[in-house]
């Protein structure tokens, strides 16, 4: 676990099957609203980042260009790796990539139990909490302004 590596991939990459399994396991299965989740409409147009431990995907995040803003979705860290700094490191790498693409900001919809994590990463709450149609979870819109 001391040798975490980070890699930008696309949805054709060999790691993407593991990504699909991890994001379903963490984001959807516990809430019993969706019974299968492989790909969605954003997968082919997004920048995908994985964290690997000895070649195994342990975390994932996705950034999509939406009107020169980075839309962050499907941000997951395997339970065993939560609290190890992986999520923060992934957000740092997305911020660097967003700067390269000259995005104005990053934005996401945070599960209520993750709001403080995103605040520590510099994100701010914006707007009202709403229920996700896909997962049924309450989400808080948040953003980070790129300098």
Model confidence at 14, in pLDDT bands (50, 70, 90)? Answer: confident
User: For residue 44, is it within any domain?
Assistant: yes
- The domain tally of the chain equals 1
Does pLDDT of 61 surpass 80? yes
- On whether residue 58 sits in a domain, the answer given is yes
Per-residue confidence at 120, pLDDT binned at 50, 70, 90?
A: very high
Whole domain around residue 91: which residue ranges? Answer: 4-106
pLDDT in tens, 70-116: 999 888 888 899 999 999 999 999 999 999 999 999 999 999 999 99
Residue 18 resides in a domain? yes
Lowest mean pLDDT among 54-58, 82-86, 122-126, 131-135: 131-135
pTM of the complete model beyond 0.75: yes
The answer to the question of residue 37 being in a domain is: yes
> Over the chain, what is the mean pLDDT?
86
User: 147 lies in a domain?
Assistant: no
Would residue 45 count as lying in a domain?
yes
Q: What is the pLDDT of residue 90?
A: 94
CATH number, position 17: 3.40.630.30
| Mean of pLDDT values over 17-22 | 69
Is 135 part of any domain? no
Considering the domain boundaries, does residue 31 fall inside one?
A: yes
Contacts for 121-126: CB closer than 8 Å, 24+ residues apart:
121/87, 121/88, 121/91
Residue 75: Cβ-neighbour burial (10 angstroms; 0-12, 13-18, 19+): buried
Q: What pLDDT band is residue 17 in, cutting at 50, 70 and 90?
A: confident
Q: Please name which of 59, 75, 57 lies closest in space to residue 144, comparing C-alpha atoms.
A: 75
Contacts of 121 (CB under 8 A, 6+ apart): 87, 88, 91, 144
Distance between CA atoms of residues 37 and 142, nearest Å: 24
């Amino acid at each position: 676990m001391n040798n975490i590596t980070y890699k930008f991939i696309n949805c054709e990459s060999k790691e993407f099957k593991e990504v699909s399994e991890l994001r379903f396991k963490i984001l959807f299965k516990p809430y019993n609203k969706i019974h299968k989740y492989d790909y969605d409409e954003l997968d082919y147009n997004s920048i995908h980042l994985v964290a690997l431990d000895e070649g195994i995907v342990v975390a994932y995040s996705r950034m999509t260009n939406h009107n020169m803003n980075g839309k962050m979705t499907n941000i997951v860290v395997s339970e065993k790796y939560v609290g190890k700094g992986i999520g923060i490191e992934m957000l740092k790498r997305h911020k660097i990539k967003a700067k390269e693409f000259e995005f104005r900001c990053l934005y996401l919809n945070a599960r209520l139990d993750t709001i403080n994590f995103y605040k520590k990463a510099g994100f701010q709450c914006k707007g009202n909490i709403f229920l996700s149609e896909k997962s049924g979870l309450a989400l808080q819109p948040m953003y980070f302004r790129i300098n």
